[in-house]
Chain A
Amino acid sequence: MSVLALLVIEDESQVRRFLRSSLDATVYKLIEAATGEAGLAAAASQHPDIILLDLGLPDIDGIEVTRRLREWTETPIIILSARGQDPDKIAALDAGADDYLTKPFSLPELLARIRVAERHAQQFGDKKDAIFTLGDLRIDRASRIVTVGGEEVRLTPIEYKLLATLARKAGRVLTYQQLLKDVWGPRYATQKQYLHVYVGHLRNKLERDPAKPRFLVTEPGVGYRLRLE
């Protein structure tokens, strides 16, 4: 397995040190940047595979860094945010960041996010499989047939589109705005009630226990995630 280049843009040296000492050097190559400008430069010169981006940088704010990165690269960006930074976090996700972690986070949480990002990075540009499976959920994107435990589930066109959108970004959080735009179109970007209602329909059809969803996870205040594993 090749070494994964991880760019961490974070001004707090303790956090960088924690990552340096706990990430296995045989698997991850850590590139460190303490400011937004340094991070943008490092992203351009060293082509990392994944970027970890702190929201509270001293020079440029994380939303702006995300925007400037997305002008030229699709490299997965994972936001590191503190509690109380929710509006900024959502803005960064809407600007093209892929996922987020709330500080304080544990190593297993970080590794899980990195794995998801890695998986998507590998798929980027490749042809996608027609079949998507997650536990006993199976989506055949060619024939648009969805089955749970081998039994076909009848979905309306919107329900299917919503599920397919979540599956395309499986494991990553999708903001309300992204989902509404992708599934219903830009005019619906603020009509969150549509999303809540249709996710409810999907849960009733796909989840064994809709009150304890295994796949369709609510991220309060942010959006929804199709949970992997």
Chain B
Amino acid sequence: MSFAVSDFQHVVTFSVMFVVAFVISNLTRRVRLQADEARHRERRTATLYGLSRELAATRATHNLVNVAVQHLHDIFDAKAAIWLQLADGRLDNAASGEHAFTPDDKERGIVEWVFSHDKPAGLGTDTLPSATALHVALRGTQERIGVLSVQPNDPHRFNDPEQRTLLDVFGSQIASALERSRLAEQAQHATIQMEAERLRSSLLSSVSHDLRTPLSVITGAASALVDSGPALAPAAQRDLAETIHEEAQRLARLVRNLLDMTRIASGAVNVAKEWQPIEGIIGAALGRLEELLRGRKVDVRVPLDLQPVPIDGLLIEQVLINLLENAAKYTPNGTPIDISAHAETGAVVVEIADRGPGIPSELVDRIFEKFYQLPREGASVGAGLGLAICRGIVEAHGGRIWAENRSGGGAVFRFTLPIDGPPPEVAAEDKE
């Protein structure tokens, strides 16, 4: 037996087998390559999908930047900086945290160049390849909005064209998310501005009258005292002085409400929540209104075991003061006021009820609007801001405020203070 190939037929057989093997191996390789590429594509798609999904779910600009930096770190094993153009034209690095990178002055210079020329530069490009990071412009649909800087741990990473392409896609995703949030923020800002403008103009018209009345009374009474004080009977002098005192207090209340309202409307109110019992705040509000409520029976009912609520004590005190002042203003002297608080699911409800004339039912919702005042006999009594302030403060706490008429006559104002989560623990006292 020999392995010599002598027969022509064998030669043909071998050739055919060789060709077949070659073709098959080639095909297999192609299939494997395709599979590899498909896997790769899938991973890339998943990555991009993950990024875009998270970007879409994120609102504020700085949150977007954080999401982007995190993803850049996960995908490219890199630190990143995201430069956004500020209103004054300067570029500012919005990235922070452990995956953010802080460039030196040289890199900063490249960033400025990239932004003004709208071309990539730095690592892996033809322009200044010695830099430690790759800088690409972030382009929105309308304009350039900033620059993305990526500093990979492996400096050769962006020599791979596929990685470069992936980064470009990342860049455009980030840019459009940032642009979207920037437009949304601008729109919101415009709304706030408009609201503030509207408030200013209505304040001016409504308030100029309300400020002028007490001022003219004070001026008149004070000048009478200055000019002919000694000539007046003691009772008349006292009368004038009391008038000045009352009008000054009214003015003080008005100014306080105006300041509170402008702060609330401009969103400048900072709610510093602390877990505390509501009864202390009720006590404090009553303490401040002792004079105003003299001669009324004020009944306070708060269960001893009522749980503490997370509230800003000063602001909620203001709500109670405004509601009590209102009750005192709109109900006859000497009629009782009932204050109570109780727990409901997820909230504590506070009620202030009076036995006055009540509220015309068609106006029950309108009274919380700015500048709205119930028609009342006699002179105007304020700027109609007290209840609007209450609503602003209660809503800033995530609660709701409303009014109803009481069976048996009178009005009741209720507001809820939501309770989220358990109060912080207070360790039991060691018994000595």
Contact = CB atoms under 8 A, between A and B. Distances in A.
Contacts of A123: none
Interface stretch (A28-36, A51-59, A129-137, A188-196): A188-196
B252 to A, nearest CB: 5
A84 B313 CA distance: 14
A1 interface: no
Given A193-B275, A199-B280, A217-B284, A84 B302 contact: no
Nearest to B272: A221
A193 B426 contact: yes
A220 B429 contact: no
Contacts of B274: 192-193, 196
Given A192-B274, A217-B283, A157 B429 contact: yes
B431 A156 contact: yes
A192 B308 CA distance: 12
Contacts of B287: 217
A211 B314 contact: no
Contacts of B252: 104
A157 B301 CA distance: 29
Given A211-B282, A218-B280, A196 B308 contact: yes
Contact of A83 (B256, B277, B282): B256
Interface string B404-432: 00000000000000000001111001011
Contacts of B86: none
B308 A213 contact: no
Contact of A210 (B256, B304, B314, B426): B304
B317 interface: yes
Nearest to A218: B280
Interface string B271-293: 01011110111111011000000
Given A194-B426, A196-B277, A200-B277, A211 B301 contact: yes
A212 B283 contact: yes
A151 interface: no
Contacts of A192: 274-276
A84 B282 CA distance: 21
Contacts of A218: 280-281, 283-284, 313
A203 B316 CA distance: 21
B284 A219 contact: yes
Given A84-B259, A218-B281, A211 B300 contact: yes
Nearest to A224: B280
Interface string B306-327: 0010001110110000000000
Interface string B3-33: 0000000000000000000000000000000
Contacts of A204: 304
B145 to A, nearest CB: 37
A119 to B, nearest CB: 20
Contacts of B280: 196, 199-200, 213, 218, 220
A89 B431 CA distance: 36
A42 B286 CA distance: 39
Nearest to A211: B300
A71 interface: no
A199 B277 CA distance: 10
B198 to A, nearest CB: 24
Interface string B258-278: 010000000000001011110
B284 A220 contact: yes
B308 A211 contact: no
Interface in A172-229: 191-194, 196-197, 199-200, 203-204, 209-213, 217-221
Residue among B283, B301, B302, B316 having the largest count of chain A Cβ atoms under 10 Å: B283
Contacts of A193: 274-276, 308, 423-426
Nearest to A104: B252
Contacts of A211: 279, 282-283, 300-302
A86 B314 contact: yes
Given A194-B426, A196-B308, A217-B284, A210 B432 contact: no
Interface string A148-188: 00000000111000000000000000000000000000000
Contacts of B248: 104
A195 B363 CA distance: 42
Contacts of B424: 191, 193
A220 B277 contact: no
In order of increasing CB-CB distance, the 5 nearest A-B pairs are A220-B313, A218-B280, A221-B314, A211-B300, A220-B317
24 contacts: A83-B259, A84-B259, A104-B252, A156-B429, A157-B429, A157-B432, A192-B274, A192-B276, A193-B275, A193-B276, A193-B308, A193-B425, A200-B277, A200-B280, A203-B279, A210-B279, A211-B282, A211-B302, A212-B298, A213-B283, A218-B281, A218-B283, A220-B280, A221-B314
Interface of B: 248, 252, 256, 259, 272, 274-277, 279-284, 286-287, 298, 300-302, 304, 308, 312-314, 316-317, 423-426, 429, 431-432
